[in-house]
Amino acid sequence: MARAAPPIARAGRAWAAAALLAAAGCAAPNLSRTVGRGNWELHVSHGGPLLRPPGWPPVPFGHTHIGGRYGLSDRVDLDGNLNLLPLGVGLLQVDTAVVLQIFRRPRRLAVSASARLAGIFDLDDPPAARLFTEWGLHVGRPLGRFVHPYGGLLLTNPLTVRTADLPPSFLTPFAGLEFLLPPRRGRQHGLAVHVAWTNPWVDSDAVVDYAPPMGALAVYLGYRVRFGGLDR
């Protein structure tokens, strides 16, 4: 018979699960620049929080996000994503966001803000769901034509799950480096390395061995192809 986990361990596991969800929401696309009216983008990313399996070096937990963006206007995008990993355990994780361009100079500094609603739905027990809001600030500046560093901050708030052992919100600073290929026929491909760290000041002790033991440090690899709006 398995021994019941002590309250601290149970709390650690609960926080770790929430941190996984919060970190999983931070997929790799660079949102510092909107795509422009009528233009659109497809993107996919793979990675997640760093775990340390027994006898292994730290490896990213395998979340795979697919999604896209569409330019509703010159300064407003609609963004959406699907996380494929939870489907394997009967969960559906989707999100949608509005991205607003605050400031932009072509080939120079760009600043945007995002408001996102994310949901995790139990397919085996509908309508059970966990909902989150995410507020983001995104900053980027190209270095030449084909290298785009970016970074920012996300604030995630659980709407339907609030317990004493979980923080009321998750703060995630992030940074990334996007490499663009020369455009062809009105489209451009890009590859990105993206690093995010959710609540790095909180002990993430759990039944899994996080690396490092504070917060949830996540690493993603991303790919995107943009159709139009390449001079932004």
Residue 52 lies in a domain: yes
Q: Give the C-alpha separation, 211 to 193, whole Å.
A: 18
Residue 62 lies in a domain: yes
Sign of the CA dihedral with 30 first, then 122, 218, and 132 last? positive
Residue 214 lies in a domain: yes
> What is the predicted pLDDT for the residue at 166?
63
Rounded to 5 degrees, what are φ and ψ at 188? -145, 135
> What tens digit of pLDDT does each residue of 98-127 get?
999 999 998 899 999 999 999 989 888 877
Residue 80 lies in a domain: yes
Q: Give the C-alpha separation, 12 to 23, whole Å.
A: 16
Residue 2 lies in a domain: no
> What is the predicted pLDDT for the residue at 143?
94
Give me the domain span that covers residue 159: 7-227
Q: Which amino acid is at 78?
A: L
Residue 199 lies in a domain: yes
Residue 232 lies in a domain: no
Count of structural domains, the chain: 1
CATH at residue 214: 2.40.128
pLDDT tens by residue, the chain, 232 residues: 333 333 333 343 344 344 445 444 556 689 999 999 999 999 999 998 888 777 788 888 788 999 999 999 999 999 999 999 889 888 899 999 999 999 999 889 999 999 999 998 988 887 788 888 999 999 999 998 899 999 999 999 988 765 655 677 889 999 999 999 999 988 999 999 999 998 888 776 665 677 888 888 899 999 999 999 877 6
Contact 197, 216 (CB under 8 A): yes
Residue 71 lies in a domain: yes
The owner of tokens 């507020």 is 135
> What is the predicted pLDDT for the residue at 105?
92
